[in-house]
A and B are shown apart, each in its own frame.
Chain A
Amino acid sequence: MKKKPVSVKGQDKNLRVKSFEEVVLGFSEAEVLEEASRCIQCKEAKCIPGCPVGIDIKTFIKRLTLKDYAGAYSTIREKNNFPSICGRVCPAEYQCRRACVFTKKGEPFASQDAINIHFLERFAGDYGAKNKIIVKADSNNKLSKFKVAIVGSGPAGLCCAGELARGGVKVVVFEGLHKTGGVLRYGIPPFRLPRNILDFEIDSLKELGVEIRPNYIIGKAKTIDELFAEGYSAIFLGLGAGIPSFMGIPGENLCNIYSANEFLTRVNLMSAHKFPEYHTPVNIGKHVVVIGGGNTAMDAARVAIRLQNMNGIISDTTIAYRRTEIEMPARRLEIEHAKEEGVKFQMLVKPEEFIGDDNGFVTKMRASRCELGEPDASGRRRPVIIPGSNFEIDCDIAVVAVGLGANKILTSVTPRIVTDKYGDVQVNPETMETSVKGVFAGGDIVGGEGTVIEAMGMAKKAAVSIIDYLYYRWPDP
């Protein structure tokens, strides 16, 4: 008889909304063994190509069943330097789990029955961290004479740094903010990715010899050409998707209307939830409206509802999305967690205007109701406004989570790096090399807003090309 999937335990929903402690508690050893034993070890494991970095899922699960946890950890680390991070933030239901043999064909995301690969990965990653299993860098005389600069310490930059360092290359990572991690730190809240986990995985890079230089903006403090002149042989750009988009509706600059990036950065990076112990403020109100349907919107809403609970405000946080739940790009687990925590969902809503008081603070949002029409370019059904469906909703804090555009700080001073009309860096998809020889790119700066693991997939590809470049093409006469 087919065994039932092991469900993962979470922190009590009444307690968790009052703190930033991790919500998903992960599998115990017994649960890991039970879940791993459900894997039927397919002859042709579909889950492996389902993983953007190609982790040998079949083998690591097999090793878990044999209680060879260190072996499972090593198997994952062969392809992924950040198992504890990916085990927590990967949208597995769209990737490996969707490819799992237990997912019915044609489903938009993984079936309940699919193996909980991400939780198994998380266990193996945390095991490696707890037992300080160290993966050593290769000593490679050919590569050790090279120095590569990585611009940005988000998922793409960190991944590329790890791959290169393990190959024996000297790596220096330049980060604009005062702390490393990029979106992993300023975007993803601690209740989804605890800071000690993030710190451990980043520190493991330092053990590989990676040097990290925070507070350093390439394009401002130094140019690409200056990096080359200083002896860097190649450069990887992991700049991320920088500039938050707004809707362009009246009243959007009223006080207490935040971009999701600002709202999350204030809390996740600057610890505004600990004000005044930490000095960065964030405002919280009685009626929070978050606009958007992605992971960022879920994160913002779940941060908001925590801030309300922690400040003794009766929680009222609403996600307004212009399509329906099925079209929401967010991970299913985040949607579920947001609901459990009391976040309200208003579907098929299109904001029209924000209304403020005399001091310029937002008080209401005016919106229209929509219905779904014909599919658009993304294949999702387009929301169409229902005439005369105008309504108002109380709103003293609004968070706009409708996407991001490219940050042009670096590319605007380096016009040789060819970008598309959106400002994204153009690369050769096979090699991730940009129009400038020796400059490679990956992550959101080349492809809009992807996931952490997709960024890592691109970064790995770039790392392979960089090593190839150093071996065979450098210095190209």
Chain B
Amino acid sequence: MKILNKEILADSQGISIVKITLLSPDIASKAKAGQFVVLMVTEEGERIPLTIVNADIKEGAIVLITQTAGFTTKQLANVKKGDTLYSLVGPLGHPTEIKKYGKVILVGGGVGIAEIYPVAKAMKAAGNFVTTIIGSRAKELLILESELKQVSDGLIVMTDDGSYGRKGFVTEALKELLEKESYDQAYAVGPIPMMRAVSVVTKNFSVPTLVSLNALMVDGTGMCGCCRVTVAGKVKFSCVDGPEFEAGEVDWIELLKRNSIYSDKEKHICRLNNL
């Protein structure tokens, strides 16, 4: 769990997006697209899940990308090359079902772009025609554009403020594209409102859509039920039943509310630590 490298991918509007390369040969050798790790920065830390963005078996390393949101992600963004994380466990969750679907469309918003990258790569390698739509608030916060270009047959960039690519939300580009051509599978990761909006669009075009949910977790192994979500009317644990689910079946409002359970405490601990 030694940090082999740290790179700041974006730092703007009070948000940083940081790429961390960690030494973990066992996880690297097993990690598949769609899986995640749970880590603790310090012994006093909380356990947070992060998607495995890349795994290098030869180097025994995995890549994680985090955006500063709460206390722990801010703490993680402050680690230095050579530091060691207190704990790291994985790979957790079911891998993405990678196969030849035909035409696959991937949609990533904000730091969710990092999470669609391993899936885009694997989908391309499986012989799919891959179109990728990525979006961020502004040019400075856009990540992995060139990496995704390499594994996509087409790439569309959207920014909220129009500072780069096209102005507007990813869902606008998605809708236009689906009106023009048909796709066999969609995959989306981003903020909850974005994933929800994507699910509405793809439903209209009857495109099956997987989303990777970012529910709060503690152990990440099915033991606590903190990450429970309602999918097609049934209670599922994101950690062991997911993290991917069919977008149209997810109770998004419930997830949004459950993800804000600790907002007050999060603000409090950030303030105390000047973060």
Interface residues of A (CB under 8 A from B): 176-178, 186, 214-217, 220-222, 242-244, 246, 248, 252-253, 255-256, 258-259, 261-262, 265-266, 270-271, 275-281, 283, 359-360, 407-409
Q: How far is the CA of A271 from the CA of B45 in the complex (A)?
A: 10
Chain A proximity of B106: nearest CB distance (Å): 25
Q: How far is the CA of A177 from the CA of B221 in the complex (A)?
A: 9
Q: Which of B26, B223, B266 gathers the greatest number of chain A CB atoms within 10 Å?
A: B223
Contact among A221, A261, A283, A359 for B225, CB-based, below 8 A:
A261
Q: Given A271-B44, A360-B258, check contact A220 B224 (CB 8 Å).
A: no
7 shortest interchain CB distances as A-B pairs: A360-B257, A262-B224, A178-B87, A281-B265, A259-B225, A280-B46, A215-B89
Report chain B residues within 8 Å CB of A214. 87
A244 touches B258 (CB 8 A): no
Is the C-beta of B22 less than 8 angstroms from some C-beta in chain A? no
Q: How far is the CA of A176 from the CA of B47 in the complex (A)?
A: 13
Q: Given A176-B89, A246-B225, check contact A270 B257 (CB 8 Å).
A: no
Is the C-beta of B91 less than 8 angstroms from some C-beta in chain A? yes
Closest to A179 in B: B87
0/1 per residue, B222-244, Cβ < 8 Å to A?
Answer: 11111011100001010010000
Q: List 24 A-B contacts (CB under 8 A).
A: A176-B219, A178-B40, A178-B89, A186-B219, A186-B223, A221-B26, A221-B27, A242-B222, A243-B223, A243-B237, A253-B228, A253-B254, A265-B218, A270-B46, A270-B47, A270-B218, A276-B272, A277-B44, A281-B266, A283-B261, A283-B265, A360-B257, A360-B258, A408-B222
A360 touches B254 (CB 8 A): yes
How many inter-chain residue pairs (CB < 8 Å) link A and B?
Answer: 126
Chain B residues 170 to 223 lying within 8 A of chain A, measured CB to CB, are: 218-219, 221-223
Provide the main secondary structure of the chain B interface.
mixed
B224 touches A261 (CB 8 A): yes
A281 touches B26 (CB 8 A): no
- Report the interface size class on chain B: 35 or more
Q: How far is the CA of A186 from the CA of B88 in the complex (A)?
A: 18
Q: A186-B223, A279-B44 are in contact. List 15 more A-B contacts (CB 8 A).
A: A176-B221, A177-B219, A220-B90, A221-B26, A221-B89, A243-B237, A248-B235, A262-B218, A271-B44, A276-B273, A279-B75, A280-B45, A281-B46, A409-B221, A409-B222
Report chain A residues within 8 Å CB of B257. 255, 359-360
Q: How far is the CA of A248 from the CA of B225 in the complex (A)?
A: 13
Closest to A178 in B: B87
Report chain A residues within 8 Å CB of B81. none
Q: How far is the CA of A280 from the CA of B257 in the complex (A)?
A: 19
Q: Which of A186, A252, A261, A271 gathers the greatest number of chain B CB atoms within 10 Å?
A: A261
Is the C-beta of B101 less than 8 angstroms from some C-beta in chain A? no
Contact among B218, B258, B266 for A253, CB-based, below 8 A:
B258
Q: Which of A242, A252, A281, A409 gathers the greatest number of chain B CB atoms within 10 Å?
A: A281
0/1 per residue, B64-88, Cβ < 8 Å to A?
Answer: 0000000110010000000000111
Report chain B residues within 8 Å CB of A243. 222-223, 225, 237, 240
0/1 per residue, B25-55, Cβ < 8 Å to A?
Answer: 0110010000000001010111100000000
